[in-house]
Amino acid sequence: MKRILILTLAIIFSSCTHQTNTEQNDFIKDYLERLENSRKYLILVAENMPEDKYEYKASPESMSFSENLMHIAWAMDWHSQTLLGGRKARDWNTDKELKVENKSKKEMIATINKTFNETIKLISEFNTTQFNDQLDYLGLNRTKRQIFLLLTDHITHHRGQMLVYMRLNGLKPPRYVLYQ
């Protein structure tokens, strides 16, 4: 009787663990689909803004269109490679790879695309047992699962500013790509 109880509990525990792992893997799969769609839409936005409008700012204290684009790359790198992946953060004062710094429109689009590739690679290999690991997020305790959500929210926030810049310049933004 005791063996049957232990075996039953082991089977129940095993099925619960399997379901949780499946759900976590489904989250990663859904997240990667969303991130790919976000990339496609952001690149469409960047391609449709004329290069001579890349330095446009809605106000003096605002970031320019190009600064928003490269800020997305910088923050995506920080959220994924540093917070999720554990790599030391880039030094904002010395690292020029993810800054505007005399880059052409074509170079900025290539940089954002490369950053998406690196982020997607890291996330596709992410160990989902780390989802509940806590870390410091600008003075707040956040789980790595929350970092996933903050990453996409940040991309959307700055892309939205870029869309407004297009409208303020009399341009029609590309049609919204669903599920991003």
Q: Which residues are annotated as a binding site?
A: 71, 154, 158
In the structure encoding, which two tokens stand for residue 70, read together?
């490269």
Q: Which amino acid is at 34?
A: R
In the structure encoding, which two tokens stand for residue 66, read together?
């190009």
Integer Cα distance of 113 and 124 in angstroms: 16
Integer Cα distance of 169 and 11 in angstroms: 62
Integer Cα distance of 123 and 119 in angstroms: 6
Strand spans (E) along the chain: 134-137, 140-143
Chain position carrying tokens 């399997």? 18
Annotation: binding site for a divalent metal cation: 71, 154, 158
Q: Give the HSE-up count for residue 128: Cα atoms under 13 Å, Cβ half-sphere.
A: 15
